[in-house]
Structure 1
Amino acid sequence: MSAKLKLDNPKFYTNRELSWLAFNDRVLEEARDANNPLFERVSFLAITQSNLDEFFNVRVASLRKMVSVKYNEPDAAGMTPKEQLKAISKQAHAMVAKQYRTLTRSLLPSLRHRHILLHGVDELTVAQHDFLADYFRQEVFPILTPLAVDASRPFPFLSDGSMNMAIRLTRPDADGKHHTEFATVQVPHGVPRVIHLPGGDEFVLLEDVIRAFIDDLFIGATIKETAMFRVTRDMGLDVDEADASDLIKEVQSQLKKRERGRVMRLEVDAGMSKRLVRYLTKQMRIDDDDVYAINGPIDLTFLKQIIKRVHATPDVVYPEHTPYLNPVLQHQNIFDVIRQQDVFVHLPYDSFAPVTEFIHQAAVDPQVLAVKMTLYRVSSQSPIIKYLKQAANNGKQVTVLVELKARFDEENNVHWARELEEAGCHVIYGLVGLKTHCKLTLIVRRDEDGIRRYMHMATGNYNDVTARLYTDMGLFTCNTEIGVDASSIFNMLSGFSEPPFFHKLAISPDGIKDFLSDQIDAEIAEAQAGRKAIIWMKMNSLSNPHMIRKLYAASAAGVQVHLLVRGICDLKVGIPGVSTNITVHSIVGRFLEHSRVYYFYAAGAEHVYLSSADLMTRNLKRRVEILFPILQDNIRVHLLQIFDLMWSDTVKTRVLQPDDTWQRVDGRGRPGLDVQAYFVEHAEQMSQELLPVPAPRAAVTNDGQGMRFTPLQSPDDRKTGRTGSRA
């Protein structure tokens, strides 16, 4: 690398927001992939809608705030907030058009082929129409509220995501002259949007039924036009923690204010008249670029309602899978098991049950003295909450950090915080100005040989629902030094403790960034000395400029860098002298890839770390995160083989190109490997106590402690044909 080459050159970076849109496009490609089961394709399309909604709720809203306060500083890619908004609008409009092409040209015809029909009201039989007329008058009409807009009645407030009908009508005045008026009707939330017609699998949308009988709401008027529209608002949460004496009350107050955030996007029926569009944009105070004309039903999340109400034959959904539960964890006291060895769990292929059982046994074990835990997102019926309350009732000292600012889970977490407090748990809310995103449980137990700390650390949330949908990794350990570090973290979170150092864990803010930077520097030094140097990383997103520069420096020095990045990736590949030694893969498939893995060859010592943190500025500087080492050799080997298998995926992997596009792997001449499907099959056979299926490139054995893989070739070794060894 030339000494004059500046690694902060904007040409070396992709804009974060555009990279996220590219990720959502990869999800959309799954909806378009005919190799996926039909109902799963429908679900993927619905996911792209909810993803895009949240993108406007948060990311677009943040950029608009920057513009409103005249913040013009460019991002790492050299784009000002105004330029980003313009580019987002162009790309998002193209994405919406692609979504609806996928719906109308592919998915609806495929559903129709299976006699699953979404009708317009004008397509119904007389009997179906009569059914809807009765349904409308009995179930819908009583709860509708037509809202006129005139001199005495201002334009109504429309909540985020609500479906509304715009109506242009005329009615006579006292002199018999007809005047054009405007009104709205909100599609009610309390009625299913998808109405199942009697007989077969035939459906109609609630808004179409309301439109068919709209005259009943405006007697004496002439309806000139009806068109659906939907608004997306700024849903950011601005909590002033420094001035909030009661954080729960402040969060609750801000939740109410958030509902009235500024409009970020207006979706309208493609057939809406220009006159009506102009009227709405004026009322919403938005620009033309913020209007999205929709060629089909607005808000594609309704698709999930359809597939939930239809019998799913095995060929239209992913096969059910049984997560593997290690027999050792089923039949023994979990603390005895952890005292003998560290235990690794790979979700969703391994069962989440050991995590909940860890808390359960702590609640009822008379030798357990204290339970400390961080909660970021939990399910609405969380067994973990139940066991924490049970532990407090049994006299354990229970301390729970509940992150009240977990985006879109704020209300749920406020509820759980109240419940835990009422049960006698000590509930804390973390540090001012920081979200607590680490996943950490500490159990203090009086063993026969003295007090011992037992820990569970993970890359993902303590959520029993997402544990079946997200890939995450967790570790149970009673390592003494990690235990001391865990105690220091909880003391830091609950009090005024500032530990001078940590023995085994790295902690954000700043600590993880500095630790990983040092590890990268060590690999650079190895490469510069002419020795083997490798970095493997897996994460959800890579956007922190400092970490990207470090990876560029490593590549320029000759370090082989292999990155698995599910979502945002601001790093560019193929830059001569800068990133020619970096390869980026992204796996988008059945499960959401959520685990974070950081590996360094370290002169053959092969250091492996798991973390709750992505390489984003918010994770490294504005959140409490942990990074923890894998110290047990068999688990370390296991993890590296998992990474290697994922790197070998040829079915769900896309590879980042120098032009920022993502292309599928060229699988010609190579065995097909859908790594997620492979892990599902392997877990299934392990659960049935059958011999494991052979790995595509490695033998797999079971020694009673979980999956074991014989050493495989590392990505760099495959180029030379050498076999990698991992002791």
Structure 2
Amino acid sequence: MTQIMPVLNSFQHSSTTYINREISLLAFHQRVLAQAKDENHPLLERLNFLIIFSRNLDEFFEIRVAGLMKQIDLNSITTAPDGIPNEVILQQISENAHQAIQDQYDTLNHVLLPQLEEYGVKFIQYNNIQKKHLEWIKNYFFKQVQPVVTPISLDPAHPFPRLVNKSLNFIVTLEGKDAFGRQIELAIVPAPRSLPRIVRLPDELTNGEEHYILLSAIIQQHINDLFPGMTATGCYQFRVTRNADLTLAADVDDLAVALKDELSSRRFGRAVRLEIAHNCPDSINSYLLEQFDLDPQHLYQVDGPVNLTRLIAHFDIPELRFKPFQAVIPKALRNPHKIFEVLSKQDVLLHHPFDSFQPVINLLKEAAKDPNVLAIKQTLYRSGPDSEIVQVLAEAARNGKEVTAIIELRARFDEESNIIVANILQEAGAVVVYGIVGYKTHAKMILIVRREGEKLKRYVHLGTGNYHAGNAKMYTDYGLLSTEPDLCEDVHKIFQELTGMGRMAKSKKMFHAPFTLHAQLLQLIENEIVFAKSGQSARIIIKVNALTEPQLIAALYRASQAGVKIELIIRSICCLRPQIPDLSENITVRSIVGRFLEHTRVYYFQNGGEEKLYCSSADWMGRNLFSRVETCFPIEDKKLKKQIIEFGLLNYLKDNVRAWELDSNEQWQVVRPKKDQAAYIAQQILMEQRTITTTA
């Protein structure tokens, strides 16, 4: 595939016009953390937001901070549009992250855990073990823990061990001599990865309440039993986070084999963060930092478990959860056996999770068993081996259909899962293609070819999100089901491009990266500038997960200066600075953080009154536009276009509860209802709309 390069322009960014992407991403994670403190959310949902923040921060360090540290190690000069040196950004990240983590543990220890105790749910740590627990803990330790734990003394014969990324470990200070008469002062105890990190105490100790003890507390309570004849004078839990990004050469012979080799090294990448108990002595902190080749700014002392993701609930109290919501199936698709008949007559739009993902699965199920269906082609980015879609595709292949799956093996942290999916489909007889080396296949497409009479008819599904039924319950995404001939022909050509390695597909209606999407977006912005300069009303509304691409930001600045009204709904990273006089005073930026993860990508251009509306798999980032295969498809049906504009865009611009707005100083401000203004929650409106439809 030909290397695609962005078109350069004369606009030069600096820190005054371009927000650093790493700082912006960390700010998003802090907006998620803020949900854990929001008393309007049910208690267990607040705990869940706290856990999501932990997961997000883990990945932030594994990928983004690791990338900065690698550049510093290589003495690379920053090429980021903001121009801020990597060392300065790393220091600011450290300051912001330390404050956020302090906030996180304060919220956990002083707000969430005490409130959970009021409902009979308690997490027992080492400092609150009671006398009545001791006998049970002793039995559990000797029967379940001691047989599988491996203490490692630190001496000339036993150097500091290689510890797995994000594993729970203890560093122990010792006095006395071991069985060989050696004076051992330090030891490492890795917590067995095969054991649960949280164990429920028996009812007889808790009066039937749900009390859980942390594995770390059990080990600490019996640390002396791991070193007979010696005395443990201190025991401190710690966890190291490592670089988990994967690097593949462009000339690999077998992508799957190369990926497997890289995955094995991910567990032991360069250390980027050290988390350790808050009461650990400075001498031990310094010792561990030296072992992991880290500076003090990478040390995070925490008052609680070093891995809060392990607090994920083993229990459920309905009144402490969001009120259950049942996604609906659009009326036209409620009879799955007539799905081809319905789609032959009309396009259908699905807005997940408010609309069920089941029609997509039903379409594939019908295709798998329909004798008139000849071929099924699909891209798979994050589906998983247990996915019903994967099983249906395998069934279709066994039924003699021509099944082609474009599987993106490099979907971050799902690489192993995707290799398994590829093997399942290959064994069933499907043709599996791994996409293009150097370009992740991020497009979301299904193409079904069906014989109807003397002709072949195509059916397509195009989406903004992954073919993952679980995500479709938690992420907001759009999916379009259509038989529109030009759209189907475009999808067919893109599949040929991915499997046949031929020339760039010339599309009739769709834009696709890395070829036409970036240029077309610039042109659409330019069109609005022309309308504004001619005195006409001009407006752009963009809803994406991230905005970082410098040329698009520069184009939006030019549009603002020309008088175009620009409203950006950006979930996470936004490198554009809004509300700067004479530059971006006509641009507003908001972020929605609520019950569901906002994931739709929608582009709206007023276009002189002849509105243009697109849905896409692509965010406005350089990687999406130049290093990925992405699709962008027009919504032309007037009813569906109105539906997306009203409920997918304007609805979110009205939100005054779950919205945050970005100011010119790079600060995100919570939006609250004005005096005499009713509370408005966009996601709640969409849920209520589906509830009314279902009960009508």
Q: Fold match, TM over 0.5?
A: yes
Which of the numbers 35, 51, 54 marks the counterpart of 2:56? 51
Cα deviation, residue 126, structure 1: 3.4
Matched, 1:326 2:330: yes
Letter of the 1:680 partner, please give it. M
Aligned to 1:377: 382
Distance in 2, matches of 1:197 and 1:213, equals 17
Aligned to 1:659: 665
Aligned to 1:203: 212
Matched, 1:679 2:686: yes
Distance in 2, matches of 1:461 and 1:528, equals 40
SS at match of 1:40: helix
Q: What per-residue deviation string (whole Å, max 9, x for no partner) do you get for residues 120-155 of structure 1?
A: 345344332211111111111111110111111111
Distance in 2, matches of 1:458 and 1:151, equals 58
Distance in 1, matches of 2:210 and 2:231, equals 35
- Report which stretch shifted further, 473-482 or 676-685: 676-685
Residues 504 and 515, structure 2, Cα contact 8 Å, conserved in 1: no
Distance in 2, matches of 1:271 and 1:583, equals 45
Matched, 1:274 2:282: yes
Distance in 2, matches of 1:339 and 1:313, equals 43
Cα deviation, residue 5, structure 1: 10
- Give the aligned CA root-mean-square deviation in angstroms: 1.6
- Report which stretch shifted further, 201-210 or 600-609: 201-210
Matched, 1:222 2:236: no
Aligned to 2:314: 308
Residues 178 and 230, structure 2, Cα contact 8 Å, conserved in 1: no
SS at match of 1:184: strand
Which of the numbers 175, 186, 190 marks the counterpart of 1:186? 190
Residues 382 and 464, structure 1, Cα contact 8 Å, conserved in 2: yes
Residues 322 and 687, structure 1, Cα contact 8 Å, conserved in 2: no
Aligned to 1:265: 273
Matched, 1:399 2:404: yes
Residues 439 and 460, structure 1, Cα contact 8 Å, conserved in 2: yes
Matches within 5 A, 1:65-464: 65-121=70-126, 123-172=128-177, 179-199=183-203, 200-242=209-251, 244-304=252-312, 307-309=313-315, 311-314=316-319, 316-331=320-335, 332-448=337-453, 450-464=455-469
TM-score (norm 2): 0.95
Distance in 1, matches of 2:321 and 2:76, equals 47
Distance in 1, matches of 2:443 and 2:505, equals 19
Letter of the 1:660 partner, please give it. E
Residues 385 and 424, structure 2, Cα contact 8 Å, conserved in 1: no
Cα deviation, residue 499, structure 1: 3.5
Residues 572 and 660, structure 1, Cα contact 8 Å, conserved in 2: yes
Matches within 5 A, 1:20-31: 20-31=25-36
Distance in 2, matches of 1:574 and 1:682, equals 34
Residues 121 and 129, structure 1, Cα contact 8 Å, conserved in 2: no
Which of the numbers 472, 479, 485 marks the counterpart of 2:477? 472
Matches within 5 A, 1:470-619: 470-499=475-504, 501-619=506-624
SS at match of 2:389: helix
Distance in 2, matches of 1:398 and 1:452, equals 16
Residues 361 and 389, structure 2, Cα contact 8 Å, conserved in 1: yes
Q: What per-residue deviation string (whole Å, max 9, x for no partner) do you get for residues 344-376 of structure 1?
A: 000000000011111111111111111110000
Residues 375 and 439, structure 1, Cα contact 8 Å, conserved in 2: yes
Distance in 2, matches of 1:111 and 1:500, equals 57
Residues 449 and 456, structure 2, Cα contact 8 Å, conserved in 1: yes
Q: What per-residue deviation string (whole Å, max 9, x for no partner) do you get for residues 50-94 of structure 1?
A: 100000111111111211221113411121222221111111111
SS at match of 2:573: coil
- Report which stretch shifted further, 444-453 or 20-29: 444-453
Residues 379 and 465, structure 1, Cα contact 8 Å, conserved in 2: no
Q: What per-residue deviation string (whole Å, max 9, x for no partner) do you get for residues 536-570 of structure 1?
A: 01000011111111111111100000011000000
Letter of the 1:358 partner, please give it. L
- Report which stretch shifted further, 195-204 or 34-43: 195-204
- Report which stretch shifted further, 414-423 or 665-674: 665-674
Aligned to 2:4: none
Distance in 2, matches of 1:79 and 1:423, equals 52
SS at match of 2:26: helix
Cα deviation, residue 173, structure 1: 7.3
Residues 170 and 181, structure 1, Cα contact 8 Å, conserved in 2: yes
**Hey, which bits of structure 1, 4+ residues long, moved more than 4 A?**
4-7, 173-176
SS at match of 1:143: coil
Q: What per-residue deviation string (whole Å, max 9, x for no partner) do you get for residues 24-74 of structure 1?
A: 110011000011100000000011001000001111111112112211134
Cα deviation, residue 484, structure 1: 1.4
Residues 7 and 552, structure 1, Cα contact 8 Å, conserved in 2: no
Letter of the 2:600 partner, please give it. S
Structure 1: gaps of 5 or more residues: 691-727
SS at match of 1:195: strand
Letter of the 2:399 partner, please give it. N
Letter of the 1:675 partner, please give it. A
SS at match of 2:147: helix
Residues 269 and 294, structure 1, Cα contact 8 Å, conserved in 2: yes
Residues 325 and 687, structure 1, Cα contact 8 Å, conserved in 2: no
Aligned to 1:63: 68
TM-score (norm 1): 0.91
Q: What per-residue deviation string (whole Å, max 9, x for no partner) do you get for residues 638-681 of structure 1?
A: 00101111111111011111111111223122111111122122
Distance in 2, matches of 1:594 and 1:210, equals 41
Aligned to 1:705: none
Distance in 2, matches of 1:190 and 1:644, equals 49
Residues 105 and 304, structure 2, Cα contact 8 Å, conserved in 1: yes
SS at match of 1:257: helix
